[in-house]
Structure 1
Amino acid sequence: MTNIDATRRRVLQAVGALGAAAVVPAARAQSWPAKTIRFVVPFAPGGSSEIVARTLAAELTNSLGVSVFVENKPGGAGNVAMGEVARADDQHTIILGHIGTLAVNPYIFEKLPYDVNKDFKPVSLSTKVPSLYVVNPDVPARNLKEFVALAKSKPGKLNYGSAGNGSAGHLAFEYLKIATGTFILHVPYRGSGPQITDLLSGRLDAAAVGAPAILPFIKSGKLRCIATGSSQRIPQLPDVGTVAEQGYPGFEMTQWYGVLAPSTMAPAAIDKLAAASARAMQSPKSTERLRGDAAIIVGSNQNDFARFILAEQQRWKPIIARAGIKPD
């Protein structure tokens, strides 16, 4: 064999190897998902996060052809689940990202079991949910103006509950306190479910809760909505003014949820999941289910979600510092 023939053979072998390497990701993309997908929700059942996750999981099951099951795994303001999923390498575990775990926790915890911007890949921003500011009907305030006046007349006498330190409800109410200059005691719970139970019973005076979880109680008269955190009034509560129009221009508070994958998940699988997630949120069934709860459907691509997370981190970092929000 001549030197030219030997060189030619090595070149052909190298090209063949490159071709085979290129085929592997393509094959993996076609074969993924190969089994049931575990969709982790880092909070207790009963809140907006579960409603969004189960709506999304149902549509993903139809789109991807495998079962997508929701697993609630609360603890540590969402950090327990986030840390576990960050280490998952089975290619079939994903998690519901949230304003708390992605834009709040990095600034209130000295040490986290995960790195928001390194251990996860943003997949798709699913939905935004207006925070509704509500009171127990026994509280003598029918709107935000009356509530603020009441709070200022009794500094520290009123309380509000949240799903835990660093939760969206905690952030929303502290933001309102800063805007209105009021002093209202915070009572953290371990999840939205027990918080709402105590709000309904009158053990709590007020709360800021995502619309899907709280609208049924407002409509039934069991709770009174004094303001919405949305930029405009929501169709479900046309007579309730926004915080902004009740005297605090520029105020806006919405929770948001999106799909995240561990950074170890194959890029081809993430691409496929991102496309399926966007379709799932924009499906007629999801739209009908969530818009009835005042949720704003998004279904973004990966890059847009990544930019959104960064913008939210920059937005909330100074507010968290000013409010002095600390973990449990």
Structure 2
Amino acid sequence: MPHSISRRPVLRLLTGGALLTAATLGLAQADTWTPAKPIRLLVPYGPGGSSDVIARAIATEMAKGLGKAVVVENKGGGQGTIATSEVARARPDGYTIVLGHVGTLAVNPAMMKDLPYRVDQDFAPITLLARLPMVFAVSDRVEAADLPAFIRLARARPGKFNYGSAGNGSAGHLAFEMLKTATKTAITHVPYKGTGAQVADLIAGHIDAAAAGTPGLLPPFQAGRIRILAVGASKRLAVLPDVPTVAELGYPGFESSQWFGLLAPAGTPQPVVRRLHEEALKALHSPSVQQRLQHDSSESLGQGPAEFSAFIRGEQARWGDVVRAAGISAD
């Protein structure tokens, strides 16, 4: 009997030591998180657009560093809410992430009354990847050689001119509404289901103007089919050295860009977020991704989780003002 009694404290000590060792090992493993299976990267828009192009370029390079595939899944619809809300509800283990966008993170909260996710509570920001400046163009049928001339025409004939965008609440829609507010003009919005259809009608002269990124507008501009009047960036673009910024033309502080970043579900362990950020940063500075971004006149950023979170809050305030001033609501 004494022997059996004396063994119990020893057993407790051994059990406690084993648990302590297991916990320590678990923390060590978490601090050096390595994925055990492929990671899903959901893109809240269809294939072929700027979001899809950037996501696939980043995913290819991240997979090299992580040692597991990063599988891009396009889940468009609901103005980006379908994919974004799916990630908000996903298990916070690092295996499901989303490509955030100015529309889903900054515009939708101001535009939608029943948004199925809470930007400030449902996500763990990983990194801000890149910013793509918007450019403003007109059909070659519009008799305006530059932005000041187009503004004079629009002011002289309020409501006569229209502009297209990739859809209600899209980056192009918000960019042009910001331009209208800055220039005090009345120009009618014509929403399309994507950039391709919008640009096709701009070339054909069915719409007068448009705002979009360089991937959609640069090819027809270079072919002489449309005119690019100004860029929404804070400085001129290397691919459009002769095209002024809106700010240069008398509207100081004007800047309109769409941006992209990575987010995980809220509650994702910090070591996992940190590893994903590190690999995203490596991918962002790889030659292949840099070449892709330069081709599209995108600016690589690479902000960390805290900076990205603060950036989102600032963008929500800025674009919320535009949404309210223009009276924009979800379809």
TM-score by length of 2: 0.91
- Map Cα deviations across residues 70-119 of structure 1 (whole Å, 9 max, x no partner): 22221111111111221222742211101111111111111111111111
SS of equivalent residue, structure 1 residue 142:
coil
Aligned residues: CA RMSD = 2.3
Q: Does the 8 A contact of 2:137 with 2:211 survive in 1?
A: yes
Q: Which residue of the other structure, out of 296, 299, 322, is the alignment partner of 1:319?
A: 322
**Correspondence for 2:244:** 241
**1:279 aligned to 2:282?**
yes
**Correspondence for 2:262:** 259
**1:165 aligned to 2:168?**
yes
Q: Report percent identity of matched pairs.
A: 47
How far has the Cα of 1:228 moved from its partner? 0.3
CA change 1:197–1:36 in 2 (3 A) is: farther
SS of equivalent residue, structure 1 residue 259:
strand
**Correspondence for 2:82:** 80
In the aligned structure 2, how far is the partner of 1:214 from the partner of 1:70?
Answer: 25
Q: Does the 8 A contact of 2:232 with 2:257 survive in 1?
A: yes
Q: Does the 8 A contact of 2:196 with 2:216 survive in 1?
A: no
**Correspondence for 1:117:** 120
CA change 1:221–1:7 in 2 (3 A) is: farther
Gaps of 5+ in 1: none
Q: Does the 8 A contact of 1:218 with 1:225 survive in 2?
A: yes
CA change 1:188–1:4 in 2 (3 A) is: farther
Equivalent residue pairs, number: 328
In the aligned structure 2, how far is the partner of 1:203 from the partner of 1:35?
Answer: 49
In the aligned structure 1, how far is the partner of 2:7 from the partner of 2:314?
Answer: 58
In the aligned structure 2, how far is the partner of 1:199 from the partner of 1:36?
Answer: 41
Q: Does the 8 A contact of 2:33 with 2:272 survive in 1?
A: no
SS of equivalent residue, structure 2 residue 318:
helix
**Correspondence for 1:17:** 19
Report which stretch shifted further, 193-202 or 277-286.
193-202
Q: Which residue of the other structure, out of 66, 90, 110, is the alignment partner of 2:68?
A: 66
2:279 alignment partner AA: A
CA change 1:47–1:154 in 2 (3 A) is: farther
**Correspondence for 1:46:** 48
CA change 1:208–1:8 in 2 (3 A) is: farther
CA change 1:267–1:141 in 2 (3 A) is: same
Gaps of 5+ in 2: none
1:75 alignment partner AA: G
**1:181 aligned to 2:192?**
no
SS of equivalent residue, structure 1 residue 298:
strand
**1:301 aligned to 2:304?**
yes
**Correspondence for 1:291:** 294
SS of equivalent residue, structure 2 residue 131:
strand
**Correspondence for 2:36:** 34
Q: Does the 8 A contact of 1:136 with 1:223 survive in 2?
A: yes
**Correspondence for 1:128:** 131
